[in-house]
Every structure is written in structure tokens, then in C-alpha cells.
């Protein structure tokens, strides 16, 4: 989104975003690794010292220092997904979690601005649930192979082809797709949502593997769509069995976006939060293999110092578009703003809120 200014006379003093929202311009801070920066960021480095070599910290620290100051100046909160790198997750984030956790937590923050350190559909969901707030994403190109596997038009065609069949849409989708759906779900509540209709058949889209894993847990007939997460679809049962053969004591914890051949050999399958809770429940000395995006193990290591995390390193290239320099620029120049058409937003919000309000 282009930055506009309010009149020629204020070109150097204000930034205008959607509607009448205006923000003062702020001079770009120094990014030198000074004694002040070293002192102020030392406690934060303690959280990431096992993942970031000491020789690299002088590169990250000035950005961390500047971002944490800018947050206060902009009255902003930074939300970071579990797949963000440790210097973002531990050093600048105010709230961390999976996509729905972040959106729900965002409804509780009191700041005017939300900077979403995740992919685009997450920022859209935050905007749906927080329509009065300014939502920014540091890189508008941070997409998602799963979300991009389906469009609103696809959902309309599915409804025409399957009249009367409820459409459950995974929260990892665009606002356009949510708007065409009956209800959303997460990986942790998908079974509950599917069964809530009391129907014999349900469409669960777009993640084919999540749908197949849910089908194994319910008597409801599940119709699927061939959408996949490019991180989770790359795992194979053979590679996991090779880890087990090398060390039978390893606990394999998989995400339900993985193929069913993978979840079949896992010791536990669950949502991002479920995986974390399971991993943190292991006894000291345990070895855990998280079958998900590589950064998550680094981010939860500090909470489980006695657990050894084995890392089959599948990275999400979209999540890794979010960096400290881009977060700094996002706060400095108030970019990139995430907007959703109001009519579409109302319909998409209904699908999300219907899920949120579903009684346990």
C-alpha cells in the first residue's frame, strides 16, 4: 500500500492510512550496536542465546531495541506466530501463538495498532475480529500455499455441486473463502465443528490431509479439497520411521496437516497448541521430534530446558518473509495495512464467530 500524506504542508509530519487515520512520522532510528543497546537487550538475548550465536547478536539487537521503542510510540502490539524466528518470537512479540490464538488475543489488546508477524490470512482474521484497529503486516507477500489453494468462487461451485451439505472451512484461508462458508474450524476443534451439524456428510476444506485425519475420528462422511501446506506435506512416514529406528525412545509429535501415513506412525497428533502442550509435558531427558515448521521447536525450547528437540528442518518460506528490518519499517511507515471489504468482512466474521461461540 502506498503511503499518502495529508496535504502538501504536512508531507513530512504525518502518514495517512485508511479513512481518516493519521500517524505522526518518526525519524528512522540509529541501528548501531551501542552500550545502551547491548545493556537494554541483554535480558532478551538470554532467551535466544541457544539459537543465535553471540557474534550475530549485534546485528539483531539494534533492531530489537528500536522496535520495542517504536511499539510504545505507535501504541502498537506485535503478534507473532509460532513459526516466526526466535529473535521475533522472543524479543519483540507481545503475544505469540497459533493463528486463531493470535486473532482471539488481538481482540483483548488495548493498543490501536496490531502488527501481524505471520502470513496474510492471519492478518485478515485479526482484522475481521478487530475491525476498528489498524492491522499491519510487515510483508504483504507473506502468503500461504494452503490458503491460496482455494478461492471464494471454488467454494460457491462446491456448494452448487453439493446442495445442502454444510461447508466447514479451515481458519487457514482467506476472508473471501471464509465469507462463502457456513463455519470455520481449527485443527484442534475440527472434529467438534464437523459433528456440530448433525449431518451425515460435511465438506471440510481446503486441507485434504486435515480432512482425512478428521475422517478417521468421526462417523461423518467428509468430502475434501486437494489443498496442502507445503511445509507439512513434505514429511514422509519413511523419514520418521528412520528416526525411530535410530532411537526408539524418540517421541514423534505430528500436526494434522501432515499426510495420514505420517500421523499413523506418530506418537501424538494435534494442533500447534496441542503439540506444544504435549511436548512440554515430557519428562526431562526426553527426545521429541516435532513434525511441523522448524522454528517452533526453537521457540518452545526455553519452556522445556530438559527436553531435547530433534529438528527435521522444514521451513515455511512465507513465514520467513517476516524479518526484524521489515517489522521496523512497518512501524516507522505504518505499512502494509491489511483491509477487508466491509460486506465480505461481515460474512467472514460470522463464520469465525460461529466457530468461536460453539459450545464445548
Do 88 and 134 lie in one domain? The reply is yes
Whether 359 shows a pLDDT value over 90: the answer reads: no
Do 183 and 97 lie in one domain? The reply is no
Q: What is the pLDDT of residues 30-61, one digit of tens each?
A: 999 999 999 999 999 999 998 999 999 999 99
Higher pLDDT, 260 or 355: 260
Do 225 and 253 lie in one domain? The reply is no
SS3 155: helix
In a domain, 45, yes or no: yes
In a domain, 71, yes or no: yes
Distance CA 202, CA 279 (A): 32
Q: What is the mean pLDDT of residues 192-210?
A: 97
Contact yes or no for 60/87 (Cβ under 8 A): yes
Of 138-142, 166-170, 298-302, the range with the lowest mean pLDDT is 298-302
Do 30 and 138 lie in one domain? The reply is yes
Do 216 and 135 lie in one domain? The reply is no
Do 247 and 217 lie in one domain? The reply is no
Do 101 and 151 lie in one domain? The reply is no
Confidence category of residue 1, pLDDT binned at 50, 70, 90: very low
The verdict on whether omega for the bond into residue 345 sits within 30 degrees of 0, i.e. cis, is no
Give the number of domains in the chain. 3
pTM of the model: 0.89
Q: What are phi and psi of 127, to 5 degrees?
A: -70, -40
Q: What is the mean pLDDT of residues 273-279?
A: 90
- The confidence score (pLDDT) of residue 7 equals 38
Where is mean pLDDT largest: 124-128, 289-293, 321-325, 351-355? 321-325
Do 258 and 329 lie in one domain? The reply is no
Residues with Cβ within 8 Å of 324's Cβ and at least 6 positions away in sequence, in order, are 60, 63, 64, 67, 87, 88, 92
Do 66 and 186 lie in one domain? The reply is no
SS3 268: strand
CATH code assigned at 201: 3.40.50.10800
What is the maximal distance between C-alpha atoms in the chain? Answer: 70
**Which residues form the domain of 238?**
232-310
Q: What is the mean pLDDT of residues 112-134?
A: 93
In a domain, 89, yes or no: yes
- The confidence score (pLDDT) of residue 360 equals 52
Mean of the per-residue pLDDT values of the chain = 91
Angle among Cα 139, 2, 69 to the nearest 5 degrees reads 60
Do 113 and 19 lie in one domain? The reply is yes
Do 225 and 236 lie in one domain? The reply is no
Whether 159 shows a pLDDT value over 90: the answer reads: yes
In a domain, 279, yes or no: yes
Confidence category of residue 283, pLDDT binned at 50, 70, 90: confident
C-alpha cell at 5: 500524506
In a domain, 340, yes or no: no
Distance CA 149, CA 152 (A): 11
Q: What is the mean pLDDT of residues 121-136?
A: 92
In a domain, 126, yes or no: yes
Amino acid at each position: 500500500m502506498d503511503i499518502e500524506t495529508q496535504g502538501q504542508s504536512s508531507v513530512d509530519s504525518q502518514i495517512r492510512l485508511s479513512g481518516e487515520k493519521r500517524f505522526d512520522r518518526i525519524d528512522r532510528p540509529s541501528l548501531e550496536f551501542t552500550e545502551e543497546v547491548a545493556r537494554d537487550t541483554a535480558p532478551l538475548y538470554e532467551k535466544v542465546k541457544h539459537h543465535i550465536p553471540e557474534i550475530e547478536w549485534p546485528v539483531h539487537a539494534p533492531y530489537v531495541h528500536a522496535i520495542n521503542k517504536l511499539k510504545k510510540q505507535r501504541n502498537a502490539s506485535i503478534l507473532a506466530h509460532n513459526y516466526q524466528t526466535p529473535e521475533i518470537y522472543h524479543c519483540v512479540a507481545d503475544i505469540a501463538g497459533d493463528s486463531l490464538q493470535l486473532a482471539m488475543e488481538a481482540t483483548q489488546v488495548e493498543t490501536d495498532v496490531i502488527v501481524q508477524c505471520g502470513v496474510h490470512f492471519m492478518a485478515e482474521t485479526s482484522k475481521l475480529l478487530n475491525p476498528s484497529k489498524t492491522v499491519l503486516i510487515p510483508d504483504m507477500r507473506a502468503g500461504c500455499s494452503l490458503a491460496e489453494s482455494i478461492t471464494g468462487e471454488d467454494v460457491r461451485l462446491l456448494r452448487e455441486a453439493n446442495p445442502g451439505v454444510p461447508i466447514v472451512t479451515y481458519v487457514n484461508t482467506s476472508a473471501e473463502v471464509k465469507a462463502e462458508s457456513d463455519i470455520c474450524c481449527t485443527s484442534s476443534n475440527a472434529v467438534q465443528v464437523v459433528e456440530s451439524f448433525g449431518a451425515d456428510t460435511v465438506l471440510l476444506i481446503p486441507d485434504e490431509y486435515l480432512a482425512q485425519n478428521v475422517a478417521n475420528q468421526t462417523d461423518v462422511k467428509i468430502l475434501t479439497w486437494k489443498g496442502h501446506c507445503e511445509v507439512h506435506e513434505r514429511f514422509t512416514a519413511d523419514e520418521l520411521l528412520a528416526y525411530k529406528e535410530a532411537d526408539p525412545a524418540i517421541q514423534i509429535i505430528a500436526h494434522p496437516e501432515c499426510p495420514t501415513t505420517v500421523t499413523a506412525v506418530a506418537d501424538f497428533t494435534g494442533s500447534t497448541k496441542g503439540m506444544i502442550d504435549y511436548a512440554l509435558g515430557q519428562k526431562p531427558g526426553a527426545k521429541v521430534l516435532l513434525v511441523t515448521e522448524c522454528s517452533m521447536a526453537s521457540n518452545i525450547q526455553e519452556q522445556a530446558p530438559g527436553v531435547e528437540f530433534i529438528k527435521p528442518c522444514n521451513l515455511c518460506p512465507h513465514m520467513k518473509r517476516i524479518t526484524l528490518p521489515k517489522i521496523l519499517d512497518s512501524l516507522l511507515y505504518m505499512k502494509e495495512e491489511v483491509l477487508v471489504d466491509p460486506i465480505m468482512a461481515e460474512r467472514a466474521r460470522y463464520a469465525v464467530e460461529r466457530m468461536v461461540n460453539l459450545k464445548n
